[in-house]
A and B are shown apart, each in its own frame.
Chain A
Amino acid sequence: MSRTADAAPILGPRASLADVTDRVCDVVVRQPAPLWWWVAVGLSGAFVVLLVVAASELFVVGIGTWGVNIPVAWGFALANYVWWIGIASGGTIISALFYLTGSEWRRATNRIAESMTLWGAACAGLMPIFHLGRQGLFYWLFPYPNVMGIWPQFRSPLLWDFFALICYIFASILFWYLGLVPDFASMRDRAPTTPWRVFYGLLALGWRGSASQWKTYQTVYGILACLLAPMVVSVHSIVGLDFSGGLVPGWHSLQFSPYFVFGAVYSGIATVLLLMIPVRRLYRLETYITGRHLNVLAKLMLVCGLMLTYSYGLEAFMPFYSGNIFDLHMFLNRLYGHYGATYWVKIALNCVLPQLLWFPAVRRSEILLMVLALSVIVGMWIERYIIVVTSLYQDFMPSAWYVYAGTVWDWSILLGSVGLFFTGFLVVLRFVPIVSISEMRETVHEHVGDRP
């Protein structure tokens, strides 16, 4: 069974070099935006408006409009942050790590993955700023020379988190853009009107496709990939440090770094799947994004799910192994306390449901894959919510214990950021080739030959 699935071709029957360019470029430069695009942009744009309203409320009235309190001083924003940065990381893993391993299937998916990374990281980047008490002063985290001679606290995980996030966002933009340069040149050459030619021409940075350009390009791209692949691990380790650097039971754990990397890749791959399946249908890219791709990603998702389940197991084991009363209380409380339901929903969505992916039939079903991907994405948000909230609400001092619940503004920020993500992705869909033309042509060249 599985052999059949694995053996699904990496290209559809009608693949050719010309078809690649026509299909990918034309939807962007030659065809008007389809109706579904307008509907989707309208819908997600409405959520962007919600984000703007929620952010304005936040800046004008204050963080008090959120549900955060003492002891639960972090809430939705931190869960959102880790969630988005996790989603972003998954994209980078696909495009950078699998570039280094030379995986062929990556070529059809990397643009989607990188675009997702870009907007995921953008959404993630908003959260730490939103969550500050004095948002306008976020730049104080940056170690810039100043007349007062004040430097940031280099021992703080948050500081390194800030550095890691900034590096990651810039590297992701660079990687995405670099991969696009040859494609922008193709677009420039095919653009029907002068303004578009100028637009894409500027973005193409004078790309001619000469051998020397390709040689330099490949080197730089390889170096960036080499940088980015470990960066994913480091970014997520540092995000994990935000928690494990604290002494809060439920945070103070050595396993956070790998645990967070697993979780990040897991949610990232789920999001790629969720985006790829409709894009493939709507842009009629079935020839280039085939069952093979879906199968590979589904398997990867299953593997990540298993690794994450292992982390959950370890998380459950440690309190009992250490016998620490605070950890024990925290863990049992996660299971049976005020937020007990969230724990079991998390286990169901992240550990149990994805086991369906063992069945090739499930891996071939686009609908089921989308449902499973969505459940993983939701499950991963719940996981972060649990980590943030259930650790804080009952920590050391029983007298200070209290519960937390997000307010309408918390939800608005979360939903608004989802809107921002989709709007950003839709814009990419409209103006940028969503499958890397140059890389796809390489695949076609290798498999089909140079037939027109």
Chain B
Amino acid sequence: MPSLNGSDPGLDLVALRRRLAGTRGRDYWRSLEEAAGHPEFARLMSEEFPAAEGWSDASIDRRRLLQVMAACVALASVSGCGPEKTRKQLLPYIREPEGMVPAVPRFYATAATLGGFAEGVLVKHYQARPIKIEGNPDHPASLGATSHWSQALILSLYDPERSQMPLQRGVPASEQAFVSALFERRSELLRTHGRGLRILTGSVTSPTFAAQMAALLRTFPEARWHQWEAISREAVADGTTRAFGRPLDAVLHVDKADVLLAVGSDLLSWAPGHLRYARDFAAKRRATETGGRMSRVYAIEATPTLAGSVADHRLVLPPDDIMTALGSLAMAVKAAPEGFAPAPSPWLAAVARDLVAHRGAALVHVGPELPAEAHVLVHAINEALGARGHTLDMIEPVAVGAVNQLGSLGELARDMNAGAVDTLLILDVNPAFTAPADLEFAGALAKVPFAVHLGPYVDETASRCVWHLPATHDLEAWSDALAYDGTASIIQPQVRPLYLGRSAHEIVDLLQGSISPDGMALVQNTWRGRAPAGAPFDGFWRAALRRGVVPGTAAKPVDVPLRGDAAAQVKLPAGAPRETLTVLFRPDDGLWDGRFADNGYLQELPRWHTKLVWDNAALIAPRTAERLKLRGDDMVEIAQGGRTVQMPVWILPAQAENCLTLPLGFGRRVAGNVGHGTGFDLYPLRTSDTVWRAAGVSVKPTGRRYHLVSSQHEQTMAGRDMVISAPLDQFAHDPDFLHKMDRRDPEAPTRSIYPSYDYPRYAWAMAVNLNSCVGCGACVVACAAENNTPVVGKEEADRGRLMHWLRIDRYYSGEPDAPGTYFQPVPCMHCEDAPCEVVCPVQATMHDSDGLNVMVYNRCVGTRFCSNNCPYKVRRFNFFGFTRHDPRLPDAWNPDVTVRDRGVMEKCTYCIQRIREAEIAADREDRRVREGEVKTACQAACPTQAIVFGDMNDKQSAVAARKASPLDYQLLAELNTRPRTTYEAHLRNVNPELEEE
């Protein structure tokens, strides 16, 4: 990032504007009014704020808005990196900046956060432009993998609909005006010791922010800091506090868990450290690599989770029964006294026996959506199973200022309504959308005379606050954050803010009276105090930035004894009447609490289980749907305690009966073009008492229908061997069983009539391990981000035109109430005898010298015969000029990958741009490409290492080893296409006791 080093002499518009504003001081507004009629001012205004032209014009249409916004980004980008505009000429580099070679990417470490917790990432830059996110192998929460949320960050960085300028009551204002207003307010607050000052943030792990807040609260002793995460982990914290007597966090060692019980668990989906957990989890599932050993996984859940879907045994129970089951289990493993709960069912008894038999290698995990009592019980069970020190450690809490968020927010809302809050800083949260409905937070905001919202978008909260300030993107500002295990990372900006963004650190610093807040200095100050004494700070700082982690910051396990009466203090719920319906709130797989609503990648990511895109739906069990006489797409009115929402239902196998799962995050009311009008807002139904669960719900069909769009329409394998699954025992008895079940017609020729080719140089190939894949979708978004695949929108998705080069198929087997679930990532198979190649009349798709099935976009005339002839249906067609209509700037695309035009076929290339880059580098050094040198985007992102890619000619390579596995099979082998992508058959480590039932 040379432009951040201060070496760039160019004066940017932001600075220019600040200087102008600064010289006029508080006369600025009066001057503006005077100048408003002046043509010169109008010219300057339209040059600086093209988007502000006709801003107040309500009739502005969408297309115009997009144009204006795109123009704005262009301007902002130019101002960020180019020379001063008035110079009116562009100069090429005469001497390259040191270390910068065009077309050679550079990687910078930083961290992405979700709910405050850090996930280490590396950002790939081309000539100072962030292009792609990769995981940071040195970071404990990533180990090189990324979540789909992190992968989608690049798209939101370049989003032209991000907030671009401060707004005062919805009207563009100068930042200087805000600063003046804030300082005025500050002097008042100083007099009152901060009475009426409130700060609302999300969960925070940042040491810098914590220090800043501590200092702020010293300056304003009567101020209060509130926190609110809609997807709160309060039950976890609360349960731990009740079990241990004080707040602690648990760090799991899934790699040591031979038996794992996941209870409504987010272990593999969104728990802090989920990428790491998924990696450890998967390593224990690859029987071919562990000498035939496999962990055994049980799940108890009311609504399908990733952990439950990949479990060997899943018990689907309504939420109340889950509590009872946990009680019985606690009793069975001697964590609770006899008579504490009903005797365990045979299923639970078998699980308990298995857990006890693996004392010290057993682990129970429970999700944050279950009540604190469940967490207490699970702590007691884990303790009884000897998990501590083996599969689990307790550490000091990672999050800062952990408070009872719900209570804290409620108090804030009460105070706001009572008029006791006159200054409210809302930093990067959207409570007007996500706060529990009974708090009426949006209404209370109107009573705050000086409400400031800092956020990346003009959202529901921004539109209700007096002031809105554009927040910097995660990749634009300095900060720091801790991972699930306490490991600290410095967040360094990857690009100068594209818009007039400010970070939360800077706003708090302004409030502290700083005139020119400097994020870097703030973060450095924090770490100056924490750097090892004796060594120069600069070295420490640079090393921390370079590695993306601050060494030695991982938290040490603390030995706090479990309270003796931990389990006994839990009161199990009395059995609820069966017929009443219960609603379960869950974060959406893509949009989370709604903050990612403006990200097209995440809107269009097929949801893990439903495969729905661009919408949420009330997920309902097949039997319940039958009982209520509901079909998928039926609009229903869901009412609870006088609050109602209307939304469509979607029938979901493996859902507990009489339970509706409602994914939050959709139905944004104030959002950009992408996020607006998708799905249904469920927060109006969610109150302080029903944060995760609302019982006694009534569901009434409205008689109307809605149209939900799913990316997969057939749910079974239709009797075909798409995913081959077998019990572990069968594999143990006969490792070659798969090859004995010959799926080919024995009389069919095995060779093509065309001569086969040798690939003496490289033979690139992929192997996907179905025992590892948990279906999280990180690969899907990584592929889209790497390969510039367009986002097509709901309408086109409905017409079967999704452009994902890699999709995750999800199949069910068995009874719909408790089905087996299988995930199968399907990229291009790169068949040796590719059916697509022979049918293309213009040779637009063909084999290259490495045996890749390549697609020559420029040669394609669009007959689409190749797609028809592809048995795997992995080819994607540009039915429209999708990329032409993409609002992204050219700069936002990956420059290594051609952007495809209308009428052209495209498909997975095995990330050929990465292969070529490695081959060229190897050729230059006169050597072969080394193992691990080429990683496809999907492989790199995959948290579970399900995808392995490499050179099959290299017999030592990981991919060759996977291909040699007795479990390796080809998809649709009977067609003799000889795919280069193969799969490792799925194994289930069944408990013989349970299988007999």
Residue ranges of A at the interface with B (Cβ–Cβ < 8 Å):
61-64, 67-74, 131-135, 137-138, 140-141, 150-153, 155-159, 162, 242, 245-248, 325, 329, 392, 394-404
Contact = CB atoms under 8 A, between A and B. Distances in A.
Contacts of B824: 399
A74 B868 CA distance: 8
Interface string B846-886: 00000000000001111111011101110111111100000
B859 A70 contact: no
Given A134-B861, A138-B861, A395-B871, A70 B712 contact: no
Contacts of A74: 864-865, 868
B775 to A, nearest CB: 12
Contacts of A400: 872-873
Given A135-B903, A397-B972, A399-B810, 8 more contacts: A69-B879, A71-B800, A73-B877, A133-B863, A150-B843, A156-B840, A248-B868, A397-B826
Nearest to B856: A150
Contacts of B826: 397, 399
Contacts of B876: 70
Contacts of B872: 396-397, 400
Contact of B843 (A68, A152, A329, A395): A152
Contacts of B719: 325
Main secondary structure of the interface of B (DSSP, over half): loop
A62 B879 contact: yes
A397 B859 contact: no
A226 to B, nearest CB: 29
B902 to A, nearest CB: 5
Nearest to A391: B868
A155 B799 CA distance: 31
B376 to A, nearest CB: 42
B902 A70 contact: no
Contact of A134 (B714, B835, B862, B867): B862
B838 interface: yes
B881 A153 contact: no
B863 A158 contact: yes
Contacts of B869: 246-248
Nearest to B905: A133
Nearest to A137: B861
Contacts of A162: 841
A397 B977 CA distance: 14
Max chain A CB contacts within 10 Å: which of B824, B843, B876?
B843
A210 B824 CA distance: 77
Contacts of A403: 713
Contacts of B716: 398
Of listed B754, B903, B905, residue having the most chain A CB within 10 A: B903
B839 interface: yes
B720 interface: yes
B975 interface: yes
A256 to B, nearest CB: 15
7 contacts: A62-B881, A62-B903, A64-B796, A69-B879, A133-B878, A152-B843, A156-B865
B717 interface: yes
Interface in B705-722: 712-714, 716-720, 722
B807 interface: yes
Given A63-B903, A133-B905, A134-B904, A70 B862 contact: no
B159 interface: no
Contacts of B875: 70
Nearest to B880: A64
Contacts of B835: 246-247
A131 B796 CA distance: 19
A399 B722 contact: yes
B414 to A, nearest CB: 51
B841 A64 contact: no
A155 B838 contact: yes
Given A70-B867, A396-B972, A132 B840 contact: no
Given A133-B878, A398-B722, A399-B811, A152 B841 contact: yes
Interface residues of B, number: 55
Interface string B897-921: 0000011110000000000000000
Contacts of B293: none
Interface in B669-696: none
B623 interface: no
A141 B903 contact: no
Contacts of A394: 714
B185 interface: no
Which of A141, A150, A155, A400 has the most B CB atoms < 10 Å from its CB? A400
B840 A70 contact: no
Contacts of A62: 879-881, 902-903
Contacts of A395: 871, 873
A399 B723 CA distance: 11
B453 to A, nearest CB: 40
A155 B840 CA distance: 8
A62 B900 CA distance: 14
Contact of B975 (A69, A151, A159, A396): A396
Contacts of B839: 153, 156-158, 245-246
A156 B842 CA distance: 8
B904 A133 contact: yes
Given A62-B881, A395-B873, A399-B722, A156 B841 contact: yes
Contacts of B843: 150-153
Nearest to B721: A325
B809 interface: yes
B801 interface: yes
B871 A247 contact: yes
A46 B840 CA distance: 36
Nearest to A242: B865
Contact of A153 (B718, B838, B878): B838
B808 to A, nearest CB: 9
Interface in B158-205: none
Nearest to B809: A399
Which of A64, A72, A73, A157 neighbours the largest number of chain B CB atoms within 10 Å of its CB?
A: A73
A356 to B, nearest CB: 37
A398 B862 contact: no
Given A153-B838, A158-B841, A245-B839, A396 B904 contact: no
A245 B839 CA distance: 8
Contacts of A134: 860-862, 902-904
* Leading 7 A-B pairs by shortest Cβ distance: A133-B862, A133-B903, A69-B800, A64-B879, A400-B873, A399-B809, A73-B864
Q: Which among A72, A245, A395, A397 has the greatest number of chain B C-beta atoms within 10 A?
A: A397
Contacts of A64: 796, 799, 801, 879-880
Contacts of B712: 399
B915 to A, nearest CB: 23
A63 B862 contact: yes
Contacts of B972: 396-397
Nearest to A399: B809
B867 A71 contact: yes
Nearest to B869: A246
B799 A67 contact: yes
A68 B714 contact: no
Contacts of A155: 754, 838
A153 B905 CA distance: 16
Contacts of A246: 835, 839, 865, 868-869
Nearest to A396: B871
Given A64-B879, A71-B873, A395-B873, A158 B902 contact: no
A325 B873 CA distance: 18
A149 B842 CA distance: 12
Contact of B859 (A140, A158, A248): A140
Contacts of A159: 841
A76 to B, nearest CB: 13
Contacts of B880: 61-62, 64
Contacts of A404: 800
B842 A70 contact: no
Contact of A397 (B841, B873, B902): B873
Contacts of A150: 843, 859
